Each structure stands twice: as C-alpha cells, then as structure tokens.
Amino acid sequence: MPAAKPKAEPKRTGRKPKLNDDEQTIRHLKTLAQCMATTREAAASLGVSEPTFFAFLKRSEKAKDAWELGKLAAPVSVRAALFKRGVKEGNVTALIWLSKQHCGMTDKVEQTVDATVEHVDRSELKTKAMELQEKFWTEQKGKRRGRAPAQ
C-alpha cells in the first residue's frame, strides 16, 4: 500500500493583517500601555481602527501580554514619580496625596453641636401659628388702605 500523502496547509484567504506581533510592535504596544494610553489612542498610534486593535490583542498572545503588563506597570511608575517628588524633593502636595491614597489618611472635619430640645405642645404651636397668621393679614389690609400697621 502506498504511503499516505500529507495534507497541504490550507491557503489563507483574505487580506494580510495590518498588525504583526513582531518585536518592534510589541515594544511599542507595551510603551503605550505604560503611558496609560486608551485602546483608542493605542489604535491610532499603531495606525489602525479600535476594532482592528482589539482583534490584534485577541489574535496575538504576545501582544495581549505586553498590553496587560504595560497597564500594570503604569500605576507603579506614577507612584514612583510621586514618591520621588514627595520624599526626595520635598513636594508637600505629592506627600499629602500619597498619604491619602496609600496610608489611609483623610481630611476629616469634625463638628460638635450642643443643643437642647424642648417639648412643644402641638395645640400651643397651632395657636401661635394662627395668631401670627392673623397679625400678618391685618398688617396686609392696613397697607392696602394706606394705614400704618397696628403695633
């Protein structure tokens, strides 16, 4: 029996991908992620649309890893720069921000109110309200007639 013929690789159809996972593209991608670029900005920087960029990340494990590692490194770089400014250069604003973000400190404003509450009878309150209302309307009538309000 003759040996089985190996199957040929299926020919790829469609156009050539716009992005390849070569070393230069991967390095650029990681740099963009470290600079906290959005996916839209990264796509524009690479000269492709955002959907093409997402397809590239889905297709290439190297690209996806570079993007994720770059995104993880970004906050570390920011904190390191703030730490340098705050501790080594004496930037008070940077120190305050770092202490709030990483040391649990806050701008806490405390107010103390000392008040005494008295019990008020509702019927007394209603009577007082009616007296005030009557006084108000009496004054209004007097103003319309050109007379000074009664004291």
pLDDT, one tens digit per residue, over 86-124 is: 888 888 888 888 788 777 777 777 888 888 877 778 888
Highest-confidence segment of 10-14, 41-45, 126-130: 41-45
pLDDT beyond 60 at 67? yes
User: pLDDT at residue 5 above 70?
Assistant: no
Residues 6+ apart with CB under 8 A from 10: none
The domain spans of the chain are: 23-102, 122-151
* Class of residue 21 by CB neighbours under 10 A (exposed 0-12, middle 13-18, buried 19+): middle
d(CA 80, CA 102): 13
Both structure tokens of 80: 């390191």
CB neighbours of residue 130 within 10 Å: 10
Instruction: Please count the residues of the chain.
Output: 151
Instruction: Tell the residue number behind the tokens 């005030």, with chain if given.
Output: 132
Judged against a pLDDT cut of 70, whether residue 146 lies above it is answered with no
